[in-house]
Structure formats: C-alpha cells, structure tokens
Amino acid sequence: MYSIKRLLIGRPLKSTALGEQKLNKTKALAILSSDALSSVAYGPEQILIVLVAVGVTAFWYSVPIAIGVLVLLTALILSYRQIIYAYPHGGGAYVVSKENLGVWPGLISGGSLLVDYVLTVAVSVSAGTDAITSAFPSLHEHTVLIAIAFVLFTTVLNLRGVTESASILAYPVYLFVLALFILIGVGIYDIATGAVPPDLHASIGTPVAGISLFLLLKAFASGSSALTGVEAISNAILNFKSPAPANASRTLLMMGALLAVLFSGIVFLAYYYGISPRTEVTVVSQIAEQTFGRHFMYFFIQGTTALILILAANTGYSAFPLLAVNLANDKFIPRIFTVRGDRLGYSNGIITLGFLSIVLIVAFQGNTEHLIPLYAVGVFIPFTMSQTGMMVKWIRQKPKGWIFKLVVNSIGALISFTVTIMFFITKFEQVWSVIVFLPTIIYVFHRIKKHYEAVGKQLRLTTCEPAMPIEGNVFILPVAGITHVVETSINYAQSLSAQQIIAVYIPFEREDETAFEEKWNKFHPDVRLVTLHSPYRTIIQPLMKFIDTVERKANESNYQVTVIIPQFIPKKGWHNILHNQTSLMIRARLLYRKNVIVTTVPYHLKK
C-alpha cells in the first residue's frame, strides 16, 4: 500500500517546501485557464444546437450572439480584475459574497461553485472523451471507462502537487492554442482567397421564419457557457508567485484575450462553412475536416482539443480544494478538507472531487452534455453574487476612483444576472435541480457549522463544568477462562492500585458456574469473582447489565469505572477469523453506550 502510494504521488514534502510550490504566469495561465479556453470547443456548438431547431438559415444569428458573448466576457474580466486586487488572498466569489452581502449569499456562491467544479471535471472529461471517440469511433462504446481513467490520472497528477501538474499540463494547453490559431488562420486565408464557396451559408440579415426572441436568448445563454472558468484565477491567487495580485491580474487579461480570439474565430468559421451540429462529430472536428481534410493537422487539432478538454478538469482541481479550505475554515464542511497531504496539496479535496466526478460520469454514462446548462447556471449565480458584493463594497468604502469601479461591477452584475435568469427561463427543464440542491447543500453547511460550534463549546475549559474529581477506581475484568492473559490483566490492575477489581465470568451452563468458582479461588482468591449465568447464551447483555449496576454505585461515590478487555493479536491476519471477535464487540458497545473507560490489554500471539 505504502509503496504504491509513493510510486503514484512521490515522496512526502516538508511543510517548509510550500514556497517552492508557487506558479509563474506561464504555468498559471496553462492550468487555470484550460477550463475557460476549452469552452471554445463546445460553446459555439451550443449556440448552433439551439438555432438548428429553426433551420440552417438561422445560423447567421450566431455572429451577433457571439458579439454579445464577447461583451459579457469583457465585463467579467474587468470585474474579476478588480476582485483580484480587492481580495489578494483569494477565495473568489465565496469570500466576496460573504464579506459584503452576508453569510447566506456567501454560502449560495460557495455551494454553487463547489458543485460546479465537480460538474467541470465531469463535463470536460466527458467532452474530451467525445473528441477522442469522434476521431476513433470504435472506442465509442468504452466512453465511460476512458473518462474514468482520465479522472483518475488527473487526480493522481494533482495529488503529486500543483507545480508538477502545471509543468506537465502547460504543453498541451499551448499546443491547443497554437492548433486553433493555425486552424483559424488557414480558414480565414482560404476564405480570403476564395477557396471556400461563399454559398455554404445564408448571409447575415437573411430573414428567418419562426425565429423568436426566446430562442435567441436561449442561444445566447447557451453560448455564454463558454465563459465558465473565468472565475478560477480569482479563487487561486494564493498559488501565484509574488507579487501575486499583479501576476494573477495579468494572467487574467491574457486569458481573456485568448478566449475572445479563439471563440470569435470558431464561431465565424462555423458560420461561414455552414456547419450543422451533429451527434457524433463535434463542430470543431467538422471545421478541421473541411479545412484540412483527414490530414495530419486534422488529427493534431482533434488530439489537442481532446487534451485541453480533459485538462479543463484541472482547473476544477486547482480551485475546488482551495474553496473547500475556505469553507472548512469557516466550519461549513468537514475540517478534514483543511489538511495538507504528503505533497502539500489539499489532498482530501482533490480525492473528493475525483470521486464525485466519477460518480457523475457513471450516473450519466458519460453523456454529461445534458449537464452543461446546469454547470453554466452554477457559474453565473456566483458571478452575479460576487459582482453584487463588489458593488456593495465600493458603495460602502468609497475608495479613490470608486465610481468607475462601481460601474464596471454593476455592468458585470447586470449581465450575469440577466444570463442567470435566461437560463432559468429558457432551459428550466435542465436547470430546475439547482433550486433543489442549492438549498439542500446550504442546509447541510448550516448543520455542520452548528455541530462544530456545539462541540467547541463543550470542549472549551471556560464554558463547561469542571471535570469530575475521581475519588477511586473500580476495574471490571471479563474473563473466559483461567489463562495467562487473565493473569497479565490482573497484574496490571493491581499495579494501578485500583481500589476494587471485579472479575466477571459468564457461563452458559449452570454446571460451569461452581466448577469455575472453585478453580478461581485456587487461582486468585484475592480478586473478587462474579458469575453471571446467561441462559440465552449471550455475553454482551448480562455484562452490560452488570456494568450498569456497578456504574450506578460508583457514580454515587465519585468512583470511575474501567473495563479491562484483553485483545488477542494473532501473528497472521487470517488467524483473526479463528477467534471470536467478542472483545471488539464489547469495546464498541461500551464506548458508544456507556460512560466507562475501556482499557485494552493486547496479547500478541507468538505463533
């Protein structure tokens, strides 16, 4: 076990090595923007899927819709830039909402994002697997297995540590950007030189029968799912080399620029080539095939697309554990999420994320595209919350130049809110579950916090009654025979100058009773023996009843009751099945039901 762990995640790191685990801008851009950048692989397609319901002539609407998405992108990038400088210790939407709007809005943001990162992993890994099976249809039936393998791989990579995963993951991200630049460049060159027939698409402005504002809003909302992931940098500022805020801000701007270019390029090519969305071949794959044929470049684009989609999952792995730490520090989720693993990453968060996304992938059999709207809503709710939080902050604090900052965040909040509402109106059947799970999660958060607070109060020395003074000790020793183990236990109890030692023997047959008593009196006449005949052949019940009686009496005179339980430790694991596990059962019952102390005396068998 131990050596497998070492092989997978490497040797443990000292806490002092934490500083070496920070990211420079190039690596940070790669691992924190892979989610946002990868969205261009499915964002444009989402727009076309909505428009195809009216007919192919409606496809030209994708161009104005894309312009709308770019406006939204600009607003979000500027808003998040302000959040980065205002909250240089990270935490993103959760911290911003909590500090400016209150605990409940904070939990709404935190809860949405937590679920959202699980969706990020599931959706992007599934999409990456789809890109692979588009190229190799024979793999289509193994989708779920391939997706699970990728999740496991990413989980292990992240357990190894953030810099190590960044080093490995940077190449594919930049290769993807390069591949799409070549695709868009060659595509536009072809169009400019007239190599592409201009009659593949309806020209912009062609009247379309049956188009409605509702449909266009739905297409816009679908297209803005390409913006998921832009918040990741604001959550992970702590992972940057110093000066962290400046580096993070520059990385954010760079990401925005790349995203804008790639998104508009793909939308434009898809429109110009008149591409229709198809079930088993993605839009990017169709564009690449039309541009290059089944040429090396086609496979290069498919390969890097698959890779970036899978790596988009990595953004979830960077952001989820840090968000979980924030929530756990505030006692809304189990404390275990604040513990750094062997490689200094928050390994419990990483493992939880991997596990939950595998559950999702299996539950949806790899068809997670149904989850994209849910995923988008889960991003736009915290988008709205955090921008609103920033508005409140500027109005309250009124720093220098606050009017401009307020305007930027207000535009961001307004558009995000509009998109959220659009999702609820146009895709209610896909996003209604948010209304169920979000209150549920927040309720659970609340219960957990309440429990931790209650425990804290009970443990604090100042708030609880002083510990009971112990006037004396009673030791109870269940015995099954007169053996070496019993001798050792009595020896121990006597060395502790216990005021009373009571051996308890529980025979199933009346005849055993007197026979054992006689033997005992020869063996240890100084130790009192109590025999409890058990007509129903159970040891636990009479023993518990007896302990109850002793405990009641002991309590009257402030005596403490201790039960001594010998435990055989066989030399080999399989030997355990040869011994009744009565001592385990007794110990569990005693600890959970009674207020007695349980002392386990191990007896290591040598053979």
| Positions in 429-458 near its own copies (CB under 8 A) | 448, 451-452, 454-455, 458
What minimum distance in Å lies between the beta carbon of 558 and its own copies? 10
Q: Based on CB atoms, which residue is closest to its own copies, 150 or 559?
A: 559
For 451-476, what is the HEC assignment? HHHHHHHHHCCCCCCCCCCCCEEEEE
What minimum distance in Å lies between the beta carbon of 333 and its own copies? 9
Q: Is 136 exposed, middle or buried (0-12, 13-18, 19+ CB in 10 A)?
A: exposed
Q: Which of 461, 511, 526, 557 binds its own copies (CB under 8 A)?
A: 461
How many angstroms separate the CA atoms of 86 and 69, rounded? 26
Check residue 64 for interaction with its own copies (CB under 8 A).
Answer: no
Where in 325-384 is the site for its own copies (CB under 8 A)? 334-336, 339-340, 342
Neighbours of 462 (CB within 10 A): 5
Alpha helices in 469-539, H assignment, sequence order: 484-495, 510-523
481 in Cβ contact with 507 (< 8 Å):
no
What minimum distance in Å lies between the beta carbon of 497 and its own copies? 5
Neighbours of 76 (CB within 10 A): 24
Where in 185-204 is the site for its own copies (CB under 8 A)? none
Q: Based on CB atoms, which residue is closest to its own copies, 315 or 352?
A: 352
Q: With CA atoms as reference, report the closest residue to 15 among 491, 342, 328.
A: 342
Q: Which of 4, 459, 511, 525 binds its own copies (CB under 8 A)?
A: 459
Check residue 488 for interaction with its own copies (CB under 8 A).
Answer: yes
Terminal-to-terminal C-alpha distance of the chain:
25
Q: Which of 2, 213, 535, 556 binds its own copies (CB under 8 A)?
A: 535
Check residue 8 for interaction with its own copies (CB under 8 A).
Answer: no
Q: Which of 3, 203, 497, 557 binds its own copies (CB under 8 A)?
A: 497
What minimum distance in Å lies between the beta carbon of 605 and its own copies? 6
Q: Quick one: angle between helices 582-593 and 540-556, nearest 10?
A: 40
H helix or E strand, kind and range, residue 48: helix 43-51
Q: Which of 460, 525, 526, 557 binds its own copies (CB under 8 A)?
A: 460
501 in Cβ contact with 519 (< 8 Å):
no
Check residue 599 for interaction with its own copies (CB under 8 A).
Answer: yes
Stretch that binds its own copies, among 26-34, 57-65, 296-304, 572-580 (CB under 8 A): 572-580
* Single-letter code of the amino acid located at 599: T
Q: Is 246 exposed, middle or buried (0-12, 13-18, 19+ CB in 10 A)?
A: middle
Check residue 604 for interaction with its own copies (CB under 8 A).
Answer: yes
Stretch that binds its own copies, among 13-21, 33-41, 191-199, 246-254 (CB under 8 A): 13-21
Where in 510-529 is the site for its own copies (CB under 8 A)? 523
> For the window 574-593, what string marks contact with its own copies as x by the rule CB under 8 A?
-x-xxxx------x---xx-
Check residue 595 for interaction with its own copies (CB under 8 A).
Answer: yes
- Please give the size of the binding site for its own copies, defined by CB under 8 A: 77
Within 8 A by CB and 6+ apart from 289, the residues are 298
Q: State both tokens at 439.
A: 């209150």
Q: Which of 498, 501, 561, 586 binds its own copies (CB under 8 A)?
A: 498
Q: With CA atoms as reference, report the closest residue to 8 among 169, 157, 145, 161.
A: 157
Where in 468-487 is the site for its own copies (CB under 8 A)? 468-473, 481-485, 487
